[in-house]
Each structure stands twice: as C-alpha cells, then as structure tokens.
Structure 1
Amino acid sequence: MIKGHGDDGFAYGGTIIHDFSSNVIAAMQPEGLLEHLQKSIALVGHYPQPAAEQLAAELAQRKSILDDEVLPTNGATEAIYLVAAAYGGTTSAIVEPTFSEYADACRICGHSLQRIRSLTDAGNDADMVWLCNPNNPTGRLIDKERLLDHAYTHKNKLLVIDQSYEHSTKGYCISAAEAVEAGNIILIHSMTKRFAIPGLRLGFVTAAEHIVRHLQKWKQPWSVNALAVEAGVWLCRNALPTDITPFIEECRWLQDRINDIEGIEALPSDTTFFLARLDNPCSTLMKERLAGEGILVRNACNFHFLDEHYLRIATQEHRSNEQLLKAIKKCILQ
C-alpha cells in the first residue's frame, strides 16, 4: 500500500506543526548518530557489503545468537516482502486489524489469505500465521508465553511476528534466542522505529539458521545501503538503552484527557500509540479538520476490521499533546 500510511504531512503543503500520525518517537534517536553519519558520507562512493555481513555480526552479538541467525534488511518492510516471497503460494492467516503490508506482500506472492481476529482463529490449513506484537494500530501486546506455546504446539507451521515496536512497550516480547530455539518463529525487527531513523530504512530478521538460509536465497544483494549499514554498526556499538517509561506515562495521560472529551474514546494500549474511536465526525473528516489546525493524525479506517470511526494517535511531547487536545475539542464541535 503506497498511500494510506502515517507521516503524510507532505500532502498538506508544509502546514503541519504537530505530527501524531507516525509511530516513530523522535526522542529515541541517539545523540551523536547524525554527526557520525556526516563524517561517513564518503561511503556513498562505495558499494556496501552484499548482505551487510558486518552489521549481521554486530546484531548477532547484541542478540546473543549466531551470525547465521540474523539477516539485515532495508527496513522491516523488505523483511515482510522477503518472507512472503520465500514462502510464496502457501496459506497465510493474518491477525487483524494490523499493518496492511503483510496482506499486500502475501497477495503479491500468491498466498491464500485468512483474515482473522485472534491467533486461535487460524485454520488448520494455514501454513503461516502473521501478527504484529505489539500490534499496529491497536498498541496491544500478546503475552509472549502464549505465542511460544502456539509455536511449540504447531511445529509444522511458521509464526511470523513483526516486533517493530518491541522497544515501545514495558511488556515482554520474544527474544531472538527464543525464536531461534523454537525453530519455526520468524522475528522481524525495526531499527527504523527503535532509533527514529525512518529515512535510512533499516531492519533485520532473526530466526533459526535453516530459515535465514532459505530467506537469503530470495534476498536481493546490496539492499541495505552503505550509510544504513554504518548507522546500524554505530548504533550496536554506541546506543544506550532508552527508558520507555516517561513516554508510556505521557501516553496514559493523553489517553485520560481524551476520554474526558465527549464524542471520542481512547482505547487501551500497551505502547505509546493507540486507537481513538469517534462518534462524530467520521475519521476522514476529523483528520482534515485537525490538519487545518496544523495537526496530523492517522486515519485508521483502511485497517481491516476497522471503519470510519477510528483514528490512530502516536503520543508526542507534552506541549504538542496539549495542542492536540485543544484541537480535538474544537474540531468535534464544528
């Protein structure tokens, strides 16, 4: 899906002041990264390693797994399409509502699709189950023990888990080592989200060696550019853990304030973003009204199982959140 994602402020001619449409937390970008990349700009004159081998080694060390159990990708999106292509023509069950690219990738690669609401709804004929954990757009987290239990009781099926938001929750996600041990779990990770570098496009897959080896047969060489590799290596060596607690607490404050406004409800979330359900106006009209106030939100009506009553809101710093509240009150009454 080319259109319909967040961070679409370009469509409003530079009038957006506060962006709540993207799940990237700008404050997560480590100090010193941009300066390092500026000093490394000469790398654009050279080809990167074909499979980003140096970055794979750094990530493996960081995740306490083997080099052959990691595969760097051009963002989580390349990983999604790569997995779909490598297992093309199978039957995939997708836990919805969720990121549209799973279904798009599967459809392009000839999968038969099952659109399901819960992990337990997957049919016996499903060869693969796809889900996002924590989930986009709901922000809800499935307990990792439940996911591991599913994997171990369905050893002949693949469980594909997009953990792009694993650093945006205080809950526990499946570790790379646990995925490797299970042997039928594919984890998709996003350095884009973790370190607020969406323009660089950087992600990776962790899985058992036989799965990574199969994915490599389908992967294009040089898909991760030289600056992205350099950024990834620098981040593995220099980035410090970020305490997500202040962001979670600010999100809960914002949700509580939204729930004080008649006509809109902030739904529960385990992350820093959440769905808001509108009574009136519809989400398309509300998005446009808020844009007129210099505020950008994500219209969530195009997520499967959702409709024109849903927005997705990604918490920002406190002053921006206060401006959002003022704008919502104004736009609901128009």
Structure 2
Amino acid sequence: MLTGHGDDAYRYEREIIADFSTNVWHGGTPAGLKAYLWENMDRIERYPQVLAENLTQKIVKHHNLAAEQVLVCNGTTESIYLIAQLFSGSKTTILTPSFAEYEDACQIFNHELSYLPWLQALEMPQLRSDVVFICNPNNPTGRYFADLQFWIKRSPGCIFVIDEAFIDFTEGLESAIDLVKKYRNVVILRSLTKTYSIPGLRLGYLLANDEIISQLTAIKQPWTVNVMAQAAGEFIFEHYDQVQLPMATIWKAKAEFVNQLRQNEAIVVEESETHFFLCKTLVRNAAQLKDFLIQNHGILIRDAGNFRSLTRQHFRLATLTPEKNQLLIEALKAWTKLHY
C-alpha cells in the first residue's frame, strides 16, 4: 500500500499544526543525534557498509546474540518483504486488524493467505500455517500478547514473525527476543524509527536463527541501509541508556487525553496498551472527520477505515503533548456540535 498510511501531511495544502496520525514518538530525535549525523556527513561520499557490519556488532552486543542471528534492514518494511520473499508460496496467517504491509508483501510473493481475528488469536489456536505475522504490540489497536511462548511451542511447524516495532511504548511487555535463542521458528522484527523519531532514515533489524538469516542475506539487495541511517543506529546503541522514552510522562499524558476524549458522546475510545489507540466516530465516518479536522483546525488523524476488519468509522490517534491533545479535544467538540 503505497498510500493510505498515516503521516501524510505532505498531501495537503493546509498547514498541519498537530499530527495525531503517526505513532512515531513526537518528542523528536535524541539529544546529540543530529550533531552526530552532521559530524559524520562525509560518510555520504562513500558507499555504505553492505550489511551495516559496524551497527550489526552493536546490536549483537546489546542483545547478547551472535552476528549470524542479526540482519540490519531499511526499516521494518524491508524486513517484511524479505520474509515474504523467502517463504514465497507459503500458507500464511495474518492477525487482524494489523499493518497492511504484511498482506501486501505476501500477495506479491504468492502466499496463500488466511486471517485470524485478534480476539480469536488470544486463544492461541494450533496453527497449520507455514508462517504467521503477529504485530506485538499491535498496530492499530495497541493491544498485545503478554507471552507468546506457549503458542510458539504449540505450533512448531509454523514460523512466528513477531513485529515489535512499538514495544518501547508499552509497560509490562517483555520482548520475545530471548525466544530466538530457544526456538528455530521465531523471527523478531525491530524498528528504530518509531522510538527515536527517525522514520525518514528508514532503519530496523530482524533477529532469527542462523539458517534463516543466511537465507535472507542471500536474497537481500546490497546497500539498502544508507550511511546516515547506519550512523544513527550506531549512535543509538552507543548511548542507549540515555535515549530511552520518558514513559511516565507519556502515560500520564495519554491517561488525561483518553479521559477527556471519553467525555465526548460522539466518540468511542477503545482500550490500548500503547501511546496510540483506536477511536470511532458515531456520526458520519472517519474520512469526513479527517477532512473536517484538516480544513478547519489544521489537525491530522489516521483514517483507519482501510485496515482489514475495521469500519469506516474507525480512526487512530497517537498521544502528543497536553497542549496539542487539547487542540484535538476542542476540535472534536466542534465536530460533535455540528453533526451529533
């Protein structure tokens, strides 16, 4: 899906003053990162390391893995398409609703697709698929599986592709990375773009057993991760303890935001364990609401009507600053007064 994602402010002439459509951390890049990139600007005069070897070593040390278990990619999207290519023609299950690129990538590589609704997936049924894609925590719902080990053991013939792009925005959810060391049927996708506000650089990595990594490396295009993205990743892992999210601040802002939203009788707010969450408008639809907010208030939301199994009334919000959150609260009051 080339279009239809969030963060599409560039498509509108109206200035956007508050962007709730993207679930990237709104606080900006870590202190010192931009200066570091500027200091390393000369690196653009040379080709990047083919497999981001320096960054790979830092990831290896951070996660206590072997180099043969790590592959750095051009964002999680490249990881998804590589997995889909490697397992071309497989019987694949996708939990829904979820990130559209799983389905798009699998369709390109002729997977036989089936869909498992999230509530049914919570029962962890035995899977007869070759591959399953699980976004944990899930985009767009913000819900998560607390422990996937039972399911992985129950379906040993299925490759579990676990996308942890938003795990840093949760409390109480531990990564499944240690399961890579225990099971041969686990692939973990990690993103550095969401937590560290560098989506324009495109940077992520995947973790799996040595055989899967070797097979993925064999089909991977060279130089997909540019030198500035590699430099950013090196900086992040060199300063890891200093660049983590202020989760107490984020959760306090989210709680206040959700509480105010729920006072609007025309808006339904769904439960979420992340800083982003789904809502429904009880009047008209999300596309019309999005247009109203852009044209009248310079506010952007994510119309979630194109997620499989969601409705035209669904939209997704991310928590911003209390000041910007209040702008949306007031704008939604205007929407309700006009239509409810």
Q: For this structure pair, what is the TM-score category when the shorter chain's length is used for normalisation?
A: over 0.9
2:327 maps to 1:323: yes
Query: Aligned equivalents of 2:299 and 2:172: distance in 1?
Result: 30
For the 8 Å contact 2:126–2:151, the answer to whether it is kept is no
Unmatched 5+ stretches in structure 2: none
2:258 maps to 1:259: no
Quick one: structure 1 residues 192 and 83, their matched pair in 2 at CA, closer, same or farther if it must change by over 3 Å?
same
Aligned to 1:193, the other structure's residue is in SS state: coil
Aligned to 2:188, the other structure's residue is in SS state: strand
Query: Aligned equivalents of 1:196 and 1:105: distance in 2?
Result: 25
How many Å apart are 1:172 and its aligned residue? 1.5
Query: Aligned equivalents of 1:158 and 1:261: distance in 2?
Result: 43
- How many residue pairs match? The answer is 332
For the 8 Å contact 1:171–1:270, the answer to whether it is kept is no
For the 8 Å contact 1:93–1:123, the answer to whether it is kept is no
Q: Quote the sequence identity (%).
A: 33
Query: Aligned equivalents of 1:229 and 1:42: distance in 2?
Result: 13
1:104 corresponding residue in structure 2: 104
Aligned to 1:92, the other structure's residue is in SS state: strand
Aligned to 2:253, the other structure's residue is in SS state: helix
AA of the residue aligned to 2:46 = H
Q: Deviations over 1:239-298 (max 9, x none)?
A: 323331221221121111111001111110000000001110211100100112110000
Quick one: structure 1 residues 181 and 121, their matched pair in 2 at CA, closer, same or farther if it must change by over 3 Å?
closer
Aligned to 1:50, the other structure's residue is in SS state: coil
1:217 corresponding residue in structure 2: 218
Query: Aligned equivalents of 1:167 and 1:211: distance in 2?
Result: 25
2:27 maps to 1:23: no
How many Å apart are 1:14 and its aligned residue? 4.5
For the 8 Å contact 1:65–1:176, the answer to whether it is kept is no
What does 1:179-218 correspond to in 2, within 5 Å?
A: 179-218=180-219
2:307 maps to 1:299: no
Query: Aligned equivalents of 1:332 and 1:206: distance in 2?
Result: 46
For the 8 Å contact 1:65–1:177, the answer to whether it is kept is no
Q: Deviations over 1:96-148 (max 9, x none)?
A: 0000000000000110000110335767431111110100000011112xx11
> Over aligned residues, Cα RMSD in angstroms?
1.3
Q: Deviations over 1:41-83 (max 9, x none)?
A: 1111100111111111101111111111111000010000010
Query: Aligned equivalents of 1:246 and 1:233: distance in 2?
Result: 26
Q: Deviations over 1:291-311 (max 9, x none)?
A: 121100000000000011101
For the 8 Å contact 1:114–1:122, the answer to whether it is kept is no
Query: Aligned equivalents of 2:138 and 2:79: distance in 1?
Result: 17
AA of the residue aligned to 1:204 = Y
AA of the residue aligned to 1:26 = H
Aligned to 1:290, the other structure's residue is in SS state: helix
2:178 maps to 1:174: no
What does 1:265-280 correspond to in 2, within 5 Å?
A: 265-280=268-283
For the 8 Å contact 2:203–2:225, the answer to whether it is kept is yes
Quick one: structure 1 residues 248 and 307, their matched pair in 2 at CA, closer, same or farther if it must change by over 3 Å?
same
For the 8 Å contact 1:73–1:203, the answer to whether it is kept is yes
Q: Decide which moves more: 78-87 or 13-22.
A: 13-22
Q: Decide which moves more: 295-304 or 324-333.
A: 324-333
Query: Aligned equivalents of 2:56 and 2:3: distance in 1?
Result: 31
1:164 corresponding residue in structure 2: 165
Unmatched 5+ stretches in structure 1: none
What does 1:28-177 correspond to in 2, within 5 Å?
A: 29-117=29-117, 118-119=120-121, 120=123, 124-144=127-147, 147-177=148-178
For the 8 Å contact 2:124–2:151, the answer to whether it is kept is no
For the 8 Å contact 1:264–1:278, the answer to whether it is kept is yes
- TM-score between both structures, scaled by the size of structure 1: 0.96
Aligned to 1:280, the other structure's residue is in SS state: coil
